[in-house]
Structure 1
Amino acid sequence: MTRTASHSVSTSLDRLRAEIERRNPAEPEFHQAAREVLQTLAPVLEARPEYAEPGLVERLVEPERQIIFRVPWQDDKGRVHVNRGFRVEFNSALGPYKGGLRFHRSVNLGIIKFLGFEQIFKNALTGLGIGGGKGGSDFDPQGRSDAEVMRFCQSFMTELYRHIGEYTDIPAGDIGVGAREIGYLFGQYRRITNRWEGGVLTGKAAGWGGSLIRPEATGYGNVLFAEAMLRARGEDLEGQTAVVSGSGNVAIHTIEKLAALGANPVTCSDSSGYVVDEKGIDVQLLRQVKEVERERVSAYAERRGGSARFVPGGRVWEVPADVALPSATQNELNAADAAALIRNGVKAVSEGANMPATPEAVDLFQEAGVAFGPGKAANAGGVAVSALEMTQNASRTSWKAERVEAELARIMTDIYTTCAETADRYGAPGDYVTGANIAGFERVADAMLAQGLI
């Protein structure tokens, strides 16, 4: 492509970024996610002129459907609360919309759009024929009784049910939505529709349509991606010190898999601070504290004794480590955190959460030569096993754990290889951000072109 054409592509992308911000005001997370993808697409748009045709990228950044609804529910004292529910069905070119539900007080339309946009590329990278979507509510289940959570979930599903289905849109869990919430949501869907439609929700319990290894999949997959990056540099996880943020499902299973592969995961965290345990985090104790008792991580340090200490309000990234796996929430790792990790000799950073590193942090990691695995590739294991759960539901079978885990390992290897080879092909060796964005974009764009102007 000529210099003039190259300049034209860059100008068009800059103009589109400005238009996204104009049309979607007060949605900084969505702006950030869109900007991060668009700034890597110039090489593929220059090499494949059909992708640069007017309208294709513009359609990609505009959701096919945005649903907002009220969710009234009653607490145990009889007081009525009104929350807001969201479902953004972003792109279905590759298959039915697929993406989790997040219940957290921070949820708003911009966050759901950023998550849904990321999901398009993440799902495309799995190669499993699923489109991108996301949903949730500003309801916070923390501190609520099971009865209150059930009433909220039933009210939420009473509206959502009309927009979902195994051939339309398949939600799953995310922050604040675990097996308990999925159970209540599925029960209400079944009650309203009078159908046992197992494939309408994933993340179900194994006894009634769920898949083995689904709870572990995001954390396990992220660790496998981190190990693949290290192996490309002639190393592996054996003997490496790892810092992990968060203490929810993703973090717990990240810690578990790190230990299984010979690493020493020494941290976990929540909004109150972090724990550092020089002997390595005891996964069973952490699971008891967080999943059974729903306590703060400080309770882990109190029970663990001498090897563990709790740092209130601290930043987990100040702990020296070879590998960092941010597994809590978006923008949790900033430029100052990245600089601290780099000073302490970090070799690889792999995102277990969605967009946990700020753009400035990512730039610093790449400039320093740190292997960086973006969330849309590194944490795709969760949605991959969700798709395998859908496959099991469709055939009314249940796979053994070994089969699911082998499939997860194969998929994560394929994702890593795809990202690495795509980055090489477009002149950015070792840049997994560019590789993931372009590889996901190519798969979705080809399907969009084939299906016409819709």
Structure 2
Amino acid sequence: MFTNEYVKRVYAQAEGRDGGQPEFLQAVREVFESIEPVVEAHPEYEKNGVLERLIEPERVIKFRVAWVDDEGRVQVNRGYRVQFNSAIGPYKGGLRFHPTVTESVVKFLGFEQVLKNSLTGLPMGGAKGGSDFDPRGRSDGEVMRFCQAFMTELQRHIGQFTDVPAGDINVGGREIGYLFGQYKRIRNEYSGALSGKGLDYGGSLARTEATGYGLCYYTQAALNTLRNDSFEGKTVVVSGSGNVAIFATEKAQELGAKVVTASDSDGYVYDPEGIRLDVVKDIKLGHRGRIREYADRVPGAEYHEGSKGVWTVPCDIALPCATQNEVDGESAEALVGNGCKVVCEGANMPSTPEAIATYQRAGVLYGPAKAANAGGVAVSGLEMSQNSYRLSWTFEEVDGKLKNIMESIVANSLAAAKEYGHEGDLMLGANAAGFAKVANAMVAQGVC
């Protein structure tokens, strides 16, 4: 698996300490396999213990969240914040509310966030957090009380110069509003301590669209640079139906593609005429419904149980935008077999190692999540800048900056891949470029 002895030794250390955290170990293994050439070229990294420090979070905060439901019963959930690395800036990363949230999941997300934030070129360290709370089926009052209880503990550990959380799965505008209100109440300060806020209270235009739009800007830049091609005339399969999927679909359609799928945890819809975004937005953003409704409302559309079936739909480009490990080896084989030539990731680590190996064997243009979905945190960083300046940029200004950042990520990844002898490898290039910046900062700052 590894050829470099230093990399091999540190990964074995991670397995020994964190053997019960499969998602975290998967993320570490994928990065370590890519950065071996960088480690070989920089012997000072071993002397300074860079890898040992890189995989050990600076701080792991785990706490009880007790709140009262609508029947007056006390409910208890677990809350997490993993402040992973602050070598290049204050901690930055989202909060996820989902039953699958564990320490392993939060650590893998935080570890990926370190390199993702580095790739944006903005001064942001990496963190992630969340809870095993499931907001589905909960009233607004229950969600508010949970968010207030969660923030009552979290506020001790965050701040605009320390750690700036944002949203992630199941943490959207409603949840950020409740979290920010509780932070403001307890701390008696109005600051940019969270991003993803509403436009009426310090949020940034284009933040909602940022991850999906950024994914398409990245994919378009990669297609243009590596294949002299574009979205124009392509058939695209998108998984998910949350913000990332919705706005990836919107931008892909603007760029001339036909997106034919949308999905949620129950199943997927296939529309051969192209997904009608007005219907998806009404279902998911309007009344938080299930994607099966789409087939009832759009003639000719088909609904299929089981979300993994979405990868059997023939396409030119696949954009996984749902959740981690949604594309396994079998699904990747189906994609390749049905003509898919490009996979760029909107979700965090949506492809298993077996799926990535399949893409690479088949010569698929593969854009890894930490690079391809960095648009969300990039605009979160721009929101932090606007809050510090007490001003607001136009949608066009933010969107233009986002496009430039995503194009720069492609260019920097390809430059790093070429430098380390793997020309055209976007995955190795992203890991190498993101890692080198953080590693050099760690060495410069001494042992800390």
TM range (shorter): over 0.9
Does 2:129 align with 1:132? Answer: no
The SS at the match of 1:158 is helix
Which residue does the alignment assign to 2:36?
42
Q: Give the counterpart of 1:262 among 250, 256, 260.
A: 256
What SS does the aligned partner of 1:40 have? helix
Q: Which residue is 1:439 aligned to? A: 433
Other-structure match for 1:372: 366
Task: Tell me the residue number matched to 2:305.
Answer: 312
Matching residue of 2:203: 210
The AA in structure 2 aligned to 1:111 is V
2:48 and 2:443 in contact (8 A); partners too: no
3-state SS of paired residue (1:388): helix
One-letter identity of the residue aligned with 1:64? E
Q: Deviations over 1:205-251 (max 9, x none)?
A: 11110000001000001111111221120111000000000011100
AA aligned to 1:451 is Q
Q: Name which of 13, 18, 29 aligns with 1:19.
A: 13
Alpha carbons 1:46, 1:52 under 8 Å: kept: no
1:281 lines up with 2:275 in the alignment: yes
AA paired with 2:160? E
| Partner amino acid, structure 1, of 2:322 | A
Q: 1:89: which partner in 2? A: 83
Give the equivalent residue in structure 1 for 2:333.
Answer: 339
Give me the whole-angstrom Cα distance separating, in 2, the residues matched to 1:188 and 1:25.
Answer: 37
**Counterparts of 1:257 and 1:362, CA distance in 2:** 25
Paired with 2:135 and 2:420, the residues of 1 have a C-alpha distance of 45
Secondary structure of the structure 2 residue equivalent to 1:41: helix
Partner of 1:291 in structure 2? 285
Overall identity of the aligned pairs, in %: 58
Provide the C-alpha distance between the structure 2 equivalents of 1:78 and 1:163, rounded to a whole number of angstroms.
29
Query: What is the CA-CA distance between 1:303 and the residue it aligns to?
Result: 0.7
Once the two structures are superposed, the pairs formed by residues 216-255 of structure 1 within 5 Å of their partners are 216-231=209-224, 232-255=226-249
Q: Kindly provide the CA deviation profile for residues 285-305 of structure 1, in whole angstroms up to 9, marking residues without a partner as x.
A: 101001111111000111112
Name whichever of 34-43 and 318-327 sits farther off.
34-43
Q: Residues 182 and 203 of structure 1 are in contact (CA less than 8 Å); yes or no, is this contact kept in structure 2?
A: yes
1:84 & 1:109 partners in 2: Cα distance?
Answer: 10
Contact 1:229 1:348 in 2 (8 A): no
Write the distance in 2 (CA, Å) between the matches of 1:277 and 1:376. 29
Q: Which residue identity does 1:186 align to in structure 2?
A: F
Rounded to whole Å, the distance in 1 between the matches of 2:148 and 2:382 is 26
Give the whole-Å Cα distance in 2 for the aligned partners of 1:330 and 1:272: 16
Deviation at 1:412, TM superposition (A): 0.3
After TM superposition, the structure 1 stretch with the greater mean CA deviation from structure 2, 9-18 or 107-116, is 9-18
1:48-63 aligned at under 5 Å gives the runs 48-63=42-57
Alpha-carbon distance, 1:11 to partner: 1.9
Q: Which runs of 5+ in 2 are unaligned?
A: none
Is the CA contact (8 Å cut-off) linking 2:66 and 2:149 kept in structure 1? Answer: yes
Mapped to 2, the partners of 1:46 and 1:309 lie a distance apart of 52
The answer to whether the Cα contact below 8 Å between 1:238 and 1:261 also exists between their aligned partners in 2 is yes
Counterpart for residue 362 of structure 1: 356
One-letter amino acid matched to 2:292: S
What is the one-letter code of the residue matched to 1:263? A
Partner of 2:318: 324
C-alpha separation between the residues in 1 aligned to 2:46 and 2:428?
A: 17
- TM-superposed CA distance for 1:12, in Å, is 2.1
Structure 1 residue 52, shift from structure 2 partner: 2.7
User: Counterpart in 2 of 1:424?
Assistant: 418
Q: Is the 8 A contact 1:241 1:264 kept in 2?
A: yes
Deviations along 1:166-196, one digit per CA (max 9) or x if unpaired, are 0000000000100000000000000001111
Mapped to 1, the partners of 2:221 and 2:158 lie a distance apart of 36
Please report how far the alpha carbon of residue 54 of structure 1 lies from its aligned counterpart in structure 2 after TM superposition: 4.8
Deviations 1:308-350 (A, max 9, x none): 1101125100000000000000000011111111111111100
Following TM superposition, by how much is the alpha carbon of 1:25 offset from its aligned partner in structure 2, in angstroms?
2.8
Distance 1:14 1:52 in 2: 12
**Matched-pair contact (CA < 8 Å) for 2:48–2:447:** no
Give the aligned length: 445
Secondary structure at the counterpart of residue 300 of structure 1: helix
CA distance in 2, matches of 1:301, 1:404: 35
C-alpha separation in 2, matches of 1:25 and 1:188? 37
Say whether residues 1:398 and 2:379 are aligned partners. Answer: no
For 2:297, the equivalent position in structure 1 comes to 303
Structure 1 segments (4+ residues) deviating >6 Å: none
- Aligned-pair Cα RMSD in Å: 0.9
Report the Cα distance in structure 2 between the residues aligned to 1:85 and 1:103, rounded to whole angstroms.
Answer: 9
Please name the residue that 1:77 is paired with.
71
CA distance in 1, matches of 2:257, 2:77: 42
Secondary structure at 1:385's aligned position in 2?
helix
TM-score for the superposition, normalised by structure 2? 0.98
Distance 1:352 1:23 in 2: 30
Say whether residues 1:201 and 2:194 are aligned partners.
Answer: yes
What CA deviation, in whole Å up to 9, does each residue of 1:89-121 have, x standing for no partner?
A: 000000000000000000000000000000000
Task: Work out the CA distance in 1 between the residues paired with 2:280 and 2:36.
Answer: 45
Work out the CA distance in 1 between the residues paired with 2:45 and 2:298.
55
CA contact (8 A) 1:119 1:134 kept: yes
1:156 aligns with 2:150: yes
State whether structure 2 residue 25 is matched by structure 1 residue 28: no
